[in-house]
């Protein structure tokens, strides 16, 4: 594995996001909705830097995939979502890859009539976008490589690495089944 972003670089990037978010929503209550499970490490760091009246909620996204790297059928569980009607919502996810997850989440949350929905991600992969929507806040743009650490997993492992590392193609093997993203 090759280290892409050190813990210090990540901390700087997350602090930059927090600054933009606090400025853009200044004085307004905000509901941050984390996309489980990849969001948890970044979310814990981010929310402590955002000085706003803040609520937290969660959605769980799972996809069935034929291999570990190719996205499949997406299912979304919104049981852990608070009432977002008429609230400003910020979705937080680990990475924007094809964008299919974010698009689906925005479409589903929109039906609950929030005042607004924006999105923040730690990483955006270059040249992978398949949808018209883009994340509103991005800490880092990275090349098209499979990455792990700081919340991001490979087969549910490596989320606890304090840095972000890229897998070499030879390290990737395909597995089938449901995968929590």
**C-alpha Rg value of the chain to the nearest Å:** 16
How many angstroms separate the CA atoms of 76 and 63, rounded?
9
Q: Which does 92 bind (CB under 5 to 8 A by kind): ligand IMP, Mg ion, none?
A: none
| Residue pair 148/164 in contact by the 8 Å Cβ criterion | yes
Q: Give the start-end residues of each E strand in the chain.
A: 2-5, 30-36, 54-65, 73-77, 88-96, 116-125, 137-142, 147-148, 164-166, 177-180
Binding test (CB under 6 A) with ligand IMP, winner from 25, 96, 137, 150: 96
Q: Which does 88 bind (CB under 5 to 8 A by kind): Mg ion, ligand IMP, none?
A: none
Is 181 one of the binding residues for Mg ion (CB under 5 A)?
yes
Is 161 one of the binding residues for ligand IMP (CB under 6 A)?
no
Q: Which stretch binds Mg ion (CB under 5 A): 14-22, 71-79, 92-100, 137-145?
A: 92-100
Residue 97 designated active-site: yes
User: For residue 53, which of 30, 21, 69 has the smallest C-alpha distance?
Assistant: 30
- Helices 40-47 & 7-24 angle (0-180, nearest 10): 60
Cis omega (within 30 of 0) on the bond before 37?
yes
Active-site annotation holder among 45, 88, 93, 97: 97
Q: Which does 100 bind (CB under 5 to 8 A by kind): ligand IMP, Mg ion, none?
A: ligand IMP
Minimum Å distance from CB 50 to ligand IMP? 21
| Residue pair 91/33 in contact by the 8 Å Cβ criterion | yes
How many residues bind ligand IMP, per CB under 6 A?
Answer: 17
User: What does DSSP assign to residue 9?
Assistant: H
Site string for ligand IMP, 34-73 (x = CB under 6 A): ----x--------------------------------x--
Tokens 């589903």 — which residue? Answer: 108
Q: Which stretch binds ligand IMP (CB under 6 A): 3-11, 20-28, 75-83, 96-104?
A: 96-104
Minimum Å distance from CB 120 to ligand IMP? 13
Would you name the residues annotated as active-site residues? Answer: 97
């Amino acid at each position: 594995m090759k280290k892409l972003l050190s813990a210090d670089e990540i901390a700087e990037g997350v602090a930059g996001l927090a600054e933009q978010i606090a400025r853009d929503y200044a004085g307004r209550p905000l509901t941050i909705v984390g996309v489980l499970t990849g969001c948890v490490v970044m979310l814990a760091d981010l929310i402590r830097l955002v000085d706003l009246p803040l609520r937290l909620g969660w959605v769980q996204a799972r996809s069935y995939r034929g291999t570990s790297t190719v996205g499949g059928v997406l299912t979304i569980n919104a049981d852990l979502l608070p009432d977002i009607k008429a609230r400003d919502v910020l979705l937080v996810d680990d990475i924007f890859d094809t964008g299919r997850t974010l698009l689906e989440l925005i479409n589903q949350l929109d039906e609950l009539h929030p005042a607004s929905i924006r999105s923040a991600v730690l990483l955006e992969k270059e040249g992978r976008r398949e949808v018209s929507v883009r994340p509103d806040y991005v800490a880092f743009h990275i090349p098209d490589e499979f990455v792990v650490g700081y919340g991001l997993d490979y087969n549910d492992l490596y989320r606890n690495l304090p840095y972000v590392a890229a897998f070499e193609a030879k390290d990737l093997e395909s597995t089938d089944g449901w995968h929590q993203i």
